[in-house]
Amino acid sequence: MSDQISVEFDVPAAMRDGVELRANIFRPAGGGPYPVALVRTPYGKDFSSVLPVGDALRLARAGYIVVVQDVRGRFRSGGAWAVFENEASDGYDSVEWAARLPGSTGAVGMYGLSYLGFTQWMAAQSAPPSLRAIVPALTWWDARDGTVGRGGALELGLQAYWQLNALALDVAVRRTAGQPPAELMRALAGVVNEIDGLRGEGYGALPLGEFAPLARAGMLGDLQAALANAENPGYFAPYSIRAGYARGQVPALVVGGWYDIFTGGSLQSFAALRGAGSTPAARQSKLVMGPWSHVNYSNAVGDLDFGFRAQMALMNLQSDLTGLTVRWFDHWLKGIDNGIAAEPPVRLFVMGANSWRDEAEWPLARAEATPFYLRAGGVLSAEPPDDELPDPFVYDPADPTPTLGGNLLMHALYGPGPRDQRPVEARADVLSYTTPPLDRDTEVTGPLVAKLWAASDAPDTDFVVRLVDVHPDGFAQNLADGIVRARYRNGPHAEPLEPGQPTELTIDLWATANVFKAGHCIRVDIASASFPRWDRNLNTGEDPASATAMRPAQQHILHDAAHPSHILLPIVPRSDD
């Protein structure tokens, strides 16, 4: 097959309601027929947002007709943009349209990251008969667990930045269509000013229901809807993979990152499909987890370099993700027995050891959930507490504990990944509990859950738990964290706290894969905010959509025999144990 490729621009596809969506089509030279690799994006088909997980030119040279389509209401496609809403029906129609393209074999695969991954899951759940396989990368599982919210708190940092940086510019172009060019430039400048404002006071705007940066950009509607439906999980179900994964009939090559905003989503979607997919093919899904963030797929993430083999461009010196995608599609769309089906289903990058490892399942069956208890004097110990006094701190939403690294997609001032936590840990509103230096390497790989006994004098407040790897030089590497809004501790319906009453809280930190090397320490940090990643709890119990008044909260973390606060760490036994 020749390396020559032809490209058709703005090819229309009619949806069931008559709306036309536009796509660019990359065709290999020669008559074919060829399978189709479909990408559906809200970020502009003429831009390079899909390249990190699938270079259209390379896929075409590998013998695929590559279709990159603008979703409804975005860039060159017709219709009205409504975030999340049309991707199932439009996905079905687009897959079947792609299968009928001249020169197509009728077999279609889909690939792409983030929202582009969501479009794949929605198409798969609608069960178009021509869809054979998908490659969803860095994509959510439940909109209430990392996309719109987390633990009952609002994902403010993500939502404000994503709406302004990724969506608002095209919205401004459409709203000023037919007006003088000066109006367009004024609208674009306004959006850019709001993006820049997030590095200053922008994230602090109150009330959230009138969040000024989004309101001034004409992008407030989705945030208002999220706030209005905070206690209505059914509202978010159509926008979540969780609600319909069992309808998925095709195998997925799931790709995620330990510092991605959707770490939990990647792991949960793989485990669910692998265990309960509706077809044998779906249950042959595979997982790749690297040390990456949502926008950084290199070996250097945050403050750390995980080694050359860590980068997505050459994983373990074997393949980049485009090459792996080609192998996946070759097997499922072309029927080539290239060995990928026989390979282990899980490939993990284990931080600390800084190496890749294949596994038979996720979570690892051999990992042992081991409690590490908070103890007096800032100690973290495998021994449970006896009679110990609680540790107090004051959380003041007027000066909230700041975000520093982690699973972020925010203004560039808030970089994702591992960052030295010592500046945050030095604050009076953060409690740290640390083991003595370890005498041997200790691997923690799997889901992370904290059971925290806390009391507050406020009717509602938040608690954040963070797992940290403390290096011998003092560098405090954040690994994973989570939050709980106390009013939602038992589910989506608000239950105020009884002031001063000890309350058990469960906090999901998602997961990690990390070897705490000998000489390192395991640390757990506790605070009541990570702002502006998550919206501040104002401690009043008022509706966050309208609240502006705030008050400090006196917090107590209990750790005694009756209230054994702890974190469950999935310890992987050593081969020499």
Q: Over 80: is that where the pLDDT of 36 sits?
A: yes
Average pLDDT over residues 70-91: 96
pLDDT tier for residue 238 given thresholds of 50, 70 and 90: confident
Give me the catalytic one of 94, 114, 293, 565: 114
* Packed helices 87-99 and 115-125: angle between N→C axes, nearest 10 degrees: 80
Q: Identify the bridge partners of residue 264 per DSSP, sorted by sequence position.
A: none
Pair type for strands 65-70 and 566-572: unpaired
Greatest mean pLDDT among 35-49, 255-269, 304-318 = 255-269
Q: Write out 27-55 in H/E/C secondary structure.
A: EECCCCCEEEEEEEECCCCCCCCCHHHCC
Q: Is 260 a catalytic residue?
A: yes
Gap between the Cα atoms of 90 and 322, Å rounded: 25
CB 108 within 8 A of CB 97: no
**Which SS3 state, helix, strand or coil, does residue 15 take?**
coil
- Side-chain-side CA neighbours of 227 within 13 Å: the count stands at 19
Q: Is 89 a catalytic residue?
A: no
| Number of Cβ atoms within 10 Å of the Cβ of 544 | 23
The residue assigned the tokens 């602090």 is: 204
Average pLDDT over residues 178-196: 93
Sign of CA dihedral 452, 470, 404, 159: negative
pLDDT tier for residue 237 given thresholds of 50, 70 and 90: confident
Gap between the Cα atoms of 25 and 67, Å rounded: 5
Average pLDDT over residues 305-323: 91
Q: Looking at residue 534, what is its pLDDT? A: 98
Which is nearest to 115 in space by CA: 131, 139, 90?
Answer: 139
Amino acid in position 485: R
Q: Over 90: is that where the pLDDT of 381 sits?
A: yes
Give me the catalytic one of 77, 104, 293, 294: 294
| Percent with pLDDT over 90 in the chain | 88
Average pLDDT over residues 249-253: 94
The per-residue pLDDT of the chain, averaged, comes to 95
pLDDT tens digits for 329-374? 999 999 999 999 999 999 999 999 999 999 999 999 999 999 999 9
Gap between the Cα atoms of 228 and 222, Å rounded: 10
Q: Say what the alpha-carbon torsion angle 79, 85, 88, 92 is, to the nearest 10 degrees.
A: 0
Q: Looking at residue 115, what is its pLDDT? A: 95
Gap between the Cα atoms of 282 and 237, Å rounded: 21
CB 540 within 8 A of CB 461: no
Q: Looking at residue 49, what is its pLDDT? A: 55
Which is nearest to 260 in space by CA: 359, 85, 117?
Answer: 117
Q: Looking at residue 275, what is its pLDDT? A: 85
**Which SS3 state, helix, strand or coil, does residue 182 take?**
helix
pLDDT tier for residue 485 given thresholds of 50, 70 and 90: very high
Pair type for strands 300-301 and 153-154: unpaired
Whether omega for the bond prior to residue 33 falls within 30 degrees of 0, making it cis, is yes
pLDDT tens digits for 92-117? 999 999 999 999 999 999 999 999 99
Give me the catalytic one of 55, 90, 93, 260: 260
| Number of Cβ atoms within 10 Å of the Cβ of 11 | 15
pLDDT tier for residue 50 given thresholds of 50, 70 and 90: low
| Percent with pLDDT over 70 in the chain | 98
Q: Looking at residue 53, what is its pLDDT? A: 65
The H helix count followed by the E strand count for the chain is 12, 26
Query: ∠ at Cα 42 (38, 44), nearest 5°?
Result: 85
Q: Is 114 a catalytic residue?
A: yes
Phi, psi of 216 (to 5 degrees): -65, -25
pLDDT tier for residue 200 given thresholds of 50, 70 and 90: confident
